[in-house]
Amino acid sequence: MHTVIVGGGIVGTAIAARLGSTDGEVALLERAKIGAETTAASAGLLMRTVVDPEPFDLRIRERARERYRELREDGLETDRIGIVYVAESESFADRLADSAAALREAGIDASFLKPNELVGLGIEPEGLEGGLYTPEDRVCDPAAAAKLFADRARSAGVDVRTGVSVTDVETRDGAVAAVETSEGRFAADRVINATGPWAPQLDEAVGIDLPLCHTRGPMLAVETSDPLEGPTAIFESKRYVRPTETGAWLGAYRTDYVPGQRCDLADRSVSASFRESVRELETVVPALEDATVVDDWVGYRTVTPDGRPLVGETGLEGYLVAVGLSGQGITLAPAVADVVGGIVEGDADPEYRRRLSPTRFRD
């Protein structure tokens, strides 16, 4: 059995590491460098937190958390700084309070903070309605995580190749037969699409149509005179502040599904309106006052209608997808890899398989 994983970001490398111990030959093909595109553009959040949690969401996050614990033993550095979701309306505050109770019931350290309690996290409470705080959540360098997964894959015998672009997927008699690349043809009985925002292009090449849309994730890196001491703050208005060693990353966390929405993935421009909207956070997070912008970039998310990934088989025999992470790619990658591994080995958890099935939205 020849398996080709397309995409060397956090999801593709996690899958490669997971499949390295399975029977057959496994290759991972990345057109650039490992973890250098969408993964590198992310905020690197490792979240147990979820608003309006369902047991399944908590279960898959816990599975990912266990895998990251193993990766930390391999040298992945993470910082436990916590996350706070901040309500700017009473209705969202009610949802956060209910979410805190559900998270606590599941054994997660979570609390709902009243507006005046946000001060202790470096947030000015005027005009805010409270927040959902989970102090155990972590951040990491996402590119470093992808490289560690790739190292694990190589150690397990996976052929990890960079600078190799997949140009087509060859099919024969309704099944995958090979992939055509910039470096020649790779025979394949199984192809796994883990290309992030480029996933729709590869799907279309084999005649697969899945409910995926793009959203832009612009980011500003700022330096501050004093380090930010608080957690990552995600505001109801879809803006967030992720502390770093020298300041913070200011981003837009937009994960709304818009059918058919596609972005120009080559467009890395950061708009003036976005810059203005996140700089307004200076009034809410005083540590950002007089911050200096030192870098900017744009990442692209691939979103599904229910905000959960598409993982598993499609209508083409041998063609699997692990896409549509909906802004949770870093958090969920190793759990998604476990699901793929279970499918390949024939012992996938039935609930994971059903809840993440790429065909679950069919009428």
Please tell me the predicted confidence (pLDDT) of residue 344. Answer: 96
Please tell me the predicted confidence (pLDDT) of residue 363. Answer: 58
- HEC profile for the chain? CEEEEECCCHHHHHHHHHHCCCCCEEEEEECCCCCCCCCCCCCCEECCCCCCCCHHHHHHHHHHHHHHHHHHHCCCCEEECCEEEEECCHHHHHHHHHHHHHHHHCCCCCEEECHHHHHHHCCCCCCCCEEEEECCCEEECHHHHHHHHHHHHHHCCCEEEECCCEEEEEEECCEEEEEEECCEEEECCEEEECCHHHHHHHHHHCCCCCCCEEEEEEEEEEECCCCCCCCEEEECCCEEEEECCCEEEEEECCCCCCCCCCCCCCCCCCCHHHHHHHHHHHHCCHHHCCCEEEEEEEEEEEECCCCCCEEEECCCECEEEEECCCCCHHHHHHHHHHHHHHHHHCCCCHHHHHHCCCCCCCC
Please tell me the predicted confidence (pLDDT) of residue 273. Answer: 96
Band of pLDDT at residue 77, cut at 50, 70 and 90: very high
Please tell me the predicted confidence (pLDDT) of residue 362. Answer: 87
Band of pLDDT at residue 257, cut at 50, 70 and 90: very high
Each residue's pLDDT tens digit, 216-231:
999 999 999 998 999 9
List domains and CATH numbers for the chain.
2-43+142-211+306-355 (3.50.50.60), 80-137+213-301 (3.30.9.10)
Each residue's pLDDT tens digit, 329-355:
999 999 999 999 999 999 999 999 999
Please tell me the predicted confidence (pLDDT) of residue 23. Answer: 77
Each residue's pLDDT tens digit, 140-150:
999 999 999 99
